[in-house]
Amino acid sequence: MTGQSNWDRARSYQAAIAERGAVITDADYLQPAETLLDLYGEDIRARAFTTQDPLRGEQMLRPDFTVPIVQQHMAFGAEPARYTYFGKVFRKQEIDEARPSEFVQVGFEVFDGSDVAAADAEVFATFAEILADVPVTPVTGDIGILRAAVMGLKTTERRRAALMRHLWRPRRFKALLDRFGGITPVPAARAALLAEADPMANLPSVLGLRSESEIALRIEALRDDAAADPISNMERDLLDALLSVRETAPNAMTLLGDIAVDLPSISTAVDGMSARLDALSARGIDVETLPFEAAYGRTSMEYYDGFVFGFSAAADLNIPPVATGGRYDALTTVLGAGKGVPAVGGVIRPDLVAIAEAAQ
């Protein structure tokens, strides 16, 4: 497709996806900021362009399509359903000015709970076929295995919740794990506060955003945490071993199976990976050489909670992955007001395909 414009590429990719049964859809350029803030917190402001509408309130230029497409489906769709779309998305670039702040995406979303492994394989294989003649390398991962590992830790519910919130921030996650494991000491100021018989007695007048009762609850939570047993060395070592898995899919399965012996909470997720590999093989994917990285997607795929994948060009091009995707069941529950459906999808960036092809 050398010589095609990004828009022509996008149309051809969308047509290929539509031929596989996907319904063509679209999403508004402006999205309610409240929804995105609820999902991502204030961090989204560093990545999204915002504006104010006199009637609709704060709005954001869509940073992606997935959220509005999920909202549309949860409000009006029925399962099973398949959608494809293309258009511009908008992202602030505060570090690398060479990266565009607006670019075209082509997407494919599948809402089908009849066979999640088959749906995962369908999306991956569709992208693999579209990119068959492009010099890219695939990689896969599974955030669901890591989530299951954290939820299986023998520690307090509050600690597990804290670790889950920071799965996407590896440094913060590691710092919390070390603290909960007793590797790093409690900060001196916190230790002194907790040692007081009545920590509230010497506090200044409450001037911040927290009320006195909220501060008291926070102190109680800190005391409960200080009294909790540390996460064991064995469990921390198992998590480290899990995050270090970077192999071909069959070899990764062997390593994960060994870890599951001592960390049985991941067994169901590992079984799901096995079923997905069978489904990928049935669609003609060479799973014997398919790369798997247990930590893949942790820094850039915040709403994914299961299978994740990407297709990357040569490292010396220094560009983001040409295509990415994954499973986001939990997102449908949040946007569906508690009613969730199994969902998986992904996007291709035609501009990055063009760069990869030009470098051949």
In the chain, what are the domains?
1-135+330-360 (3.30.930.10), 157-202+209-231 (no CATH)
108 is in an annotated binding site: no
Q: Is the pLDDT of residue 226 over 80?
A: no
pLDDT at residue 336 is higher than 70: yes
Confidence check: pLDDT of 194 > 70? no
Query: In terms of Cα–Cα distance, which of 283, 314, 272, 312 is closest to 117?
Result: 272
Higher pLDDT, 78 or 300: 78
Is 29 annotated as belonging to a binding site? Answer: no
Confidence band of 300 (pLDDT split at 50, 70, 90) = confident
Residue type, 99: R
- The per-residue b/e assignment along 140-178, b for 16 or more CB within 10 angstroms, e otherwise, is bbbbbbbbbbbebbebbeebbebbeebbbeeeebbebbe
Residue 359: per-residue pLDDT: 86
Q: What are the residues whose beta carbons fall under 8 Å from the beta carbon of 302, sequence distance 6 or more?
A: 40, 168
Whether residue 66 is annotated as binding a ligand: the answer is: yes
> Per the annotation, does 298 bind a ligand?
yes
303 annotated ligand-binding residue: yes
Span 81-112, pLDDT tens digits: 999 999 999 988 877 777 888 999 999 999 99
Measured CA to CA, the distance from residue 228 to residue 155 in angstroms comes to 8
Contact (CB, 8 A) for 332 and 343: yes
Q: Is 351 known to sit in a ligand binding site?
A: no
Average pLDDT over residues 247-276: 97
Query: Which H or E run includes 323?
Result: strand 323-327
pLDDT for the residue 272: 97
Is 304 assigned to a binding site? yes
- 76 annotated ligand binder: no
| Residue 85 labeled ligand binder | no
pLDDT at position 227, please?
67
10 Å CB burial of residue 239 (0-12, 13-18, 19+) is: buried
Tokens 């509005």 — which residue? 68
pTM (predicted TM-score): 0.89
Q: Are 147 and 308 in contact (CB under 8 A)?
A: no
